[in-house]
Chain A
């Protein structure tokens, strides 16, 4: 408290903190991932006078999960959906829940919520309105909401949509508090993996900027190995002018060139050095004989590209006993991890930290760590006023983490039209144990078993007798981390591109080739479904005599052992190699569908991501870091480049599985296979380059 008292008069001054130990910093905070119980779910519900509140235990980031859970609650409680008010919780409203990741929200949260609602309904029916109730779990078939179409046909007023289209404040940066100032943490313009710190800066020039409030030196303004310098201003625009006036000189330890990253994951160098450390499957197979296909694929570093930059508003008050209490607004995928990191970093009791969930302007894995939140809280403590801190777009690229690059080799042997041997080797960087949050020594422990995020989506959805699927992760000087579906999109792109190549070698139709290799009834159904919708014909039509070359491709996949997806893509490629996806058809089976429109929207979103992945996305590097400062250098797909999308949901009574990432298993390869069909060029390095697609000598 002494420090804060000292700081009360600090406006316009430079604030310096001596380095003090705060908590045990050697071991990072590890996200806890408890599965929710029905008892937990009771804690998400409030009831008074026939009205209900549901604290949505999942981050709302576009998947409309509140709507899905509200449907379940309405059916199970036996009330109309408009009597259930949705609320975004703070970390003090509900018990700890795990991060909103991995398309688990309906799969893991629907059933506990249904059980809790059924218990509450029965208790109210018995006239109980006070005292504690305990969940009595009942068999699945007694839960009304778990029956086919019970929730899907329910009419739900979309008040969330009304709020969005009328511009209501929903996001962290929309929050405002009296006396609020604006903060930014300046960092060396290099990867936070390199050690860096401010050396000197022009304090006097900064003070002359209208709106200057303070410069904050704080040893805790550290992200990975980057130590930053805080600035505070009375308007957001003044932050830019202060940053310019300060012209901070940085010390940076070491440097790296983009080439070193390519070399570090180069699959052929790794294979030349021996086997990779981890295996999804490790059958005995002849590794030296001739192969029917032997292909290399490289997938680049790519950004999440959510349109909302990370933002937080932090505010210190005091508890009744005078302890500092932190209230922080943020859009995060992991409310309780953020709370734990804040408590640790600021040496606060976790109960004295209240993190209020706000809607996320896109999650996609980017909001799984605590980055902007720590910066906002530290600056708010330093100045003892509410601080709003919004990352600039350049900070998003340079200080965030990204989809790590990966390098793959796939070899397959085909006998009598079937794949008998399959060897897929890939090297990437850590994903679940991202270097953005985990020191090297933790990664070394993880590397005993392997980072499973890297391997996701590498398993074959086919019956192939001998398979070797091996992977490894290398710590890179740029930070990779969770990105929609983790390794799924790169791995499935590679797998299904290679399967397409196998079908070509076998002289088989891409659909029949796949159908012949699977006995999975649901995978077969989505394949046949999408083929029907697209009018798939084994007999390919001739290219038109003039105009763009046309192509059609197919791919399918199984996401996390649950949802089945198949996609057909139609593309056109101009003589100059400009490719356009004309139509995407998708058939999707995620078991019981709670919110059909929400599922469709997620599939559409994944397919748009797949268009971007194949045709436009790569995050450029320069010496020692990311070269992009805006969307000009790190593009995402634009409306004119996007296809017509036709989605068919195959409804079933199977237990619900995910939909938020599932179509990442099939979209990219379907597009790449269509490009091959049109041009004879197999996109082996993403994004596909026009100069390769333009060639006619493939």
Chain B
């Protein structure tokens, strides 16, 4: 089985063939940015992009996404600079413990790729399935609004 993750092909061999995408990413490939929070698709901490769509890696068999384009949090800043969402996250000092943040950032990135200027309801809808126990949600909203502005500047210049 071959997985295409963050623009690199990886050959996946036994005993990882029957594992979820989350465990293959974290344990076989060492891409530990996506997290195990519940294993039930309820918390969003394991979110990665599959062909630009946010997906719960804990529920996805790795086999189901063989050959598809997978992007993890580590892949958002591949050229060495942060993407606007990551930068906005720092500018707004969003993280507290940080555990859920990769999933939130990946989901926010997908939102902004789909909807360049999301309104408050669209932001809430996109992040509704992402639980954060530290209570960073008010800052998540601000960071996405800030990133939207940065994305707009980036595309217009």
**Residue positions of A touching B, CB distance < 8 A:** 61-64, 158, 160-171, 173-174, 176, 182, 210-211, 234-238, 304-309, 359-364, 390, 392-393, 597, 601, 604-609, 629-632, 636-640, 642-645
Contact = CB atoms under 8 A, between A and B. Distances in A.
Given A165-B105, A308-B35, A362-B97, A393 B133 contact: no
B42 interface: yes
A166 B33 CA distance: 8
Given A166-B73, A166-B74, A638-B128, A359 B90 contact: no
A-B pairs, 4 with minimum CB distance: A167-B33, A608-B135, A361-B99, A62-B96
Max chain B C-beta neighbours (<10 A), residue from A63, A167, A392, A609: A167
B73 A167 contact: yes
A631 B43 CA distance: 7
B5 interface: no
Contact of B74 (A167, A236, A237, A305): A167
Contacts of B138: 604, 608, 642-645
Interface in B111-127: 123-125, 127
B32 A174 contact: yes
Contacts of A171: 32, 35, 99
Contacts of A167: 31-34, 72-74, 102
A605 B135 contact: yes
B81 to A, nearest CB: 10
Main secondary structure of the interface of B (DSSP, over half): loop
A235 B74 contact: no
A161 to B, nearest CB: 5
Contact of A393 (B40, B97, B128): B40
A654 B101 CA distance: 35
A170 to B, nearest CB: 7
A281 B102 CA distance: 48
B102 to A, nearest CB: 5
B77 interface: yes
Given A604-B139, A632-B40, A638-B128, 7 more contacts: A62-B98, A162-B82, A164-B102, A167-B33, A167-B102, A168-B33, A210-B18
B148 interface: no
A115 B32 CA distance: 39
A308 B32 CA distance: 13
B15 A235 contact: yes
Given A167-B73, A236-B23, A362-B134, A173 B36 contact: yes
A176 B30 contact: yes
A639 B37 contact: no
Contacts of A361: 35, 97-100
Interface string B134-153: 11111111000000000000
Contact of A307 (B31, B33, B132): B132
Nearest to B41: A630
Nearest to B19: A237
A208 to B, nearest CB: 13
Contact of A161 (B16, B72, B89, B100): B89
Q: Which of A169, A235, A639, A645 has the most CB of B within 10 A?
A: A639
Contact of A631 (B38, B76, B86, B93): B38
Contacts of A210: 14-15, 18
A629 B39 CA distance: 11
A101 to B, nearest CB: 16
A597 B95 CA distance: 11
B131 interface: yes
